[in-house]
Structure 1
């Protein structure tokens, strides 16, 4: 589903990843993090897709909201587990969305 976002400016956190073959609890943790992120002040929405690589884009009101999410204790634990067993590699990019438009048939 495409996230509903407000009029810019706001921020996008782009998480691009390559998984390992280990699945041990990954889907459950991903769902928990999705639900937890939705509860964070400043969270706007997210979009995610996975094939050979995974791309998740989360949208946030400001950089403070992003920093607070990064430091949220359950998220810290999930990131640690990701490094230890679920991800071969990943990259995070943070971007300011200055303009946006859409189309719907």
Structure 2
């Protein structure tokens, strides 16, 4: 992804996922693309931004906590989470934040 998400006026929520990958792809890139497409179809999804160097950072934006909860429980997303634990990540952290103010140019 090479764009900045266009989010509505706050408040809304951000899910910040930071990770260290294991060596090799093992189907990661294909699944990551699939998850972005699937997330975009979910109620309450507002956008996503991602960057990867040594540490990967993906921030997805959501209208409310219920939308985040439903995305976490999505059957396809659950499969991806399981593969992430087993194959793709040596470590990761998920943080859920309420965005109360934003600004930019």
Q: Same fold, TM exceeding 0.5?
A: yes
Q: Trace 1:1-105 onto structure 2 (pairs within 5 A).
A: 1-103=3-105
Where do 4+ consecutive residues of structure 1 move more than 3 Å?
none
* Aligned Cα root-mean-square deviation (Å): 0.4
Aligned residue pair count: 103
Q: CA deviation at 1:22?
A: 3.0
Q: CA deviation at 1:67?
A: 0.1
Secondary structure, counterpart of 1:75 in structure 2: helix
TM-score, length of structure 1 as denominator length: 0.97
Cα distance in structure 1, aligned partners of 2:13 and 2:101: 11
Q: CA deviation at 1:102?
A: 1.0
TM-score, length of structure 2 as denominator length: 0.97
Q: Show structure 2 runs of 5+ residues with no match.
A: none
Secondary structure, counterpart of 2:69 in structure 1: helix
Q: Any conservation in 2 of the 1:18–1:87 contact (CA below 8 Å)?
A: yes
Secondary structure, counterpart of 2:92 in structure 1: strand
Q: Any conservation in 2 of the 1:11–1:60 contact (CA below 8 Å)?
A: yes
